[in-house]
Amino acid sequence: MKDDSRMDQKTVAVVKGLIMDGVAKANSGHPGGAMSSADFATLLYSDFLNFDPDDAQWFNRDRFILSAGHESMLLYSLLHLTGFVGMDALKEFRQMGSLTPGHPEVHLTPGVEATTGPLGQGFGMSVGFAVAEAFLRQKLGADVMDHFTYVLSSDGDLQEPIALGAASLAGLWGLGKLVVFYDSNKIQLAGPTNRVDCADIRKVFEGMCWQVLDIDGHDHGQIRKAVQDAKLEGSKPTLIVCNTVMAKGTANMEGDHNTHGAPLKADEIAASKKKLGLPAEDFHVPGDVVDHFRSRYDSMRATVADWKKNLESKLASDKDFAALWNKITTKRSALDIEWPEFTPGETMATRKAWGACLNQVTDQLPNLLGGSADLDPSNQTTKFRETVGNFGIDGYGARNLAYGVREFPMAAIMNGMALHGGVIPFGATFLTFADYCRNAIRMSALQELPSLYIFTHDSFWVGEDGPTHQPIEHVSSLRLIPDVIDLRPADATETAVCLDIAFKQDKHPSCVFLTRQGLPVLDPAEYPAVTDGARKGGYVIKDCEGTPDLIIAASGSEVSLALETAKLFKRKVRVVNICSFKLFDDQPESYKKEILPPEVTARAAAEAGRTELWHKYVGCDGVVLGLDHFGQSAPGNQLSEKYGFTPENFARLIREKY
């Protein structure tokens, strides 16, 4: 490891200059925290981070997650020094179409590992990265997968409860290759942290089974020793508490909370550059700094070459390894999955159908990792857990993730696993707790991640648990998130189809909504479209001869209700199953008009939840049987009668309108 103190200080000064210049040119951004973090972040990149200088996506690279996403100009400056981001991009910070948006975006900028904006989620995702690394290291061998996950976290990060929930799991699972730098500058946007927090972070994290190291975050000797000590600790994740000064290096504003979220003035930048020994010019990057920063590149390239050679050898000589590697590297859309079949006429809750499907794919997908938020029996993940063991507790090759009552951390950890690659993550809980996951689901969509969310107990038919556990607005709410695939299957057979759709996504997260109550397994002989119609989101499940007089649409458990209601009419009735708004809306206009002919204006819909979104299919004046109020604690069949979810009542509402 190199040790040139003068050049290290010069490099850090150049990084701080870039931070000030980038934020000032954009007239927008967060320079203070980026400058307080610059010493340890720069040394991490120049001295410790292993990556391929020629390929930002090398599989065994160390991952760096900027959980304090507002410090993005720091990351972009470092990525410029690595060669991944050009100077023009630095000068276009926060501008339309640039590679340097206000918060890092993984699909946009080379070297960015995660889209981090909402505080705490980068921390949560980093645990998912570390989970994926530990699992793949166990399965593939340390000669193929053996890297660290580094995180830059802030005071605001650790104030978000998601971070502590994820940290608790990281400690329980003994993720020794997870290293978090906590930039403890004791300042946040509105002022000093002592206004809002009295936590002793050392005690908190030590209590969650972490190694905690306290250092001066500007002392390069202490920084290097802390990273070395963290890498030597194999059984615990490490939190390096970097005690720093906000806007360190500025002439007159060190420790000032006003530097957190606003550009420095021109005179302050000029004075600060003079203090740092920088010339007055903007975006100054001298050649000796670049050479110093990249001094390890020859050895890093040699490491990558050796890794590739070893991988080729293993693929050629070890058939079992090659088969597993193929599973791990196959695109999701290319998966070939065999699903169970279900007996027509039987009654089965769709959550139980999910359980049967999960049990059948367990061996087919050896890189499937997931679990439930403390609802294993209810979410039908118990047999999966018993078959594959609990990750961390039963070893790193175990595949059940026992999340406990931590829905939000669960969702973020899933995103981290998906970002890392090589594994297929899923997580399960009750639909009413989707609210706890919601922002991470949004981040799944924003990052184009095929995370799989299993939501059971999808309506008031939860019954006696009452309104706290009976989802009303949740399906509609999740449908509002762009690029999320909503899947609400009508029966057990369609559950398998919906899961096939979800498992084969490359870029879209899926939310699968499943019932607690039993539903009739539809007979494919009578309803042939049920075996594949879900792939287009909406389809005719029961038709009439000629042009229908009435169209009844429904999703999930209400499809059976719609079918029974249709039998009460002597008119020509078409029943349409819209099990996925997203997939149906993505179909060509010609197909949508084929399913819902514009000339048929007599339309009705049924879903045990909010009614508003259904009007885009049935028209402003169409009949929608739904629920726009909270439920009650009572047996589900009694609630059906009270809320009018019976064929007789639904038919009455339609006749009154049409």
User: Catalytic residues, which ones?
Assistant: 407
To the question of whether residue 187 is assigned a binding role by annotation, the answer is yes
To the question of whether residue 22 is assigned a binding role by annotation, the answer is no
CA distance 476 to 460: 15
To the question of whether residue 378 is assigned a binding role by annotation, the answer is yes
To the question of whether residue 615 is assigned a binding role by annotation, the answer is no
CA distance 60 to 141: 12
CA distance 152 to 140: 28
To the question of whether residue 46 is assigned a binding role by annotation, the answer is no
CA distance 240 to 184: 10
To the question of whether residue 30 is assigned a binding role by annotation, the answer is yes
To the question of whether residue 257 is assigned a binding role by annotation, the answer is no
Start-to-end CA distance of the chain, whole Å, equals 80
To the question of whether residue 260 is assigned a binding role by annotation, the answer is yes
To the question of whether residue 80 is assigned a binding role by annotation, the answer is no
Q: With contact defined as beta carbons under 8 Å apart, do 348 and 518 qualify?
A: yes
CA distance 511 to 519: 20
To the question of whether residue 393 is assigned a binding role by annotation, the answer is no
Nearest to 2 by CA among 299, 268, 213: 299
Nearest to 160 by CA among 197, 124, 119, 194: 119
To the question of whether residue 433 is assigned a binding role by annotation, the answer is yes
To the question of whether residue 63 is assigned a binding role by annotation, the answer is no
CA distance 631 to 4: 68
* CA-based radius of gyration for the chain: 28
Q: With contact defined as beta carbons under 8 Å apart, do 94 and 117 qualify?
A: no
Q: Where are the beta strands (DSSP E) in 381-477?
A: 424-430, 452-456
Q: Where are the beta strands (DSSP E) in 458-578?
A: 485-487, 510-513, 519-520, 538-542, 550-554, 573-578
Cα 199 to Cα 68, 119, 195, 543: the distances in Å are: 19, 18, 12, 63
To the question of whether residue 516 is assigned a binding role by annotation, the answer is yes
DSSP string spanning 10-38?
A: HHHHHHHHHHHHHHHHHT-S-HHHHHHTH
Q: With contact defined as beta carbons under 8 Å apart, do 628 and 545 qualify?
A: no
What are the tokens at 269? 């930048």
Nearest to 129 by CA among 422, 401, 562, 506: 422
Residues of each annotated binding site: 30, 70, 117-119, 155-156, 185, 187, 260, 351, 378, 433, 457, 465, 469, 516
Residues of each annotated binding site for substrate: 30, 260, 351, 378, 457, 465, 469, 516
Residues of each annotated binding site for Mg(2+): 155, 185, 187
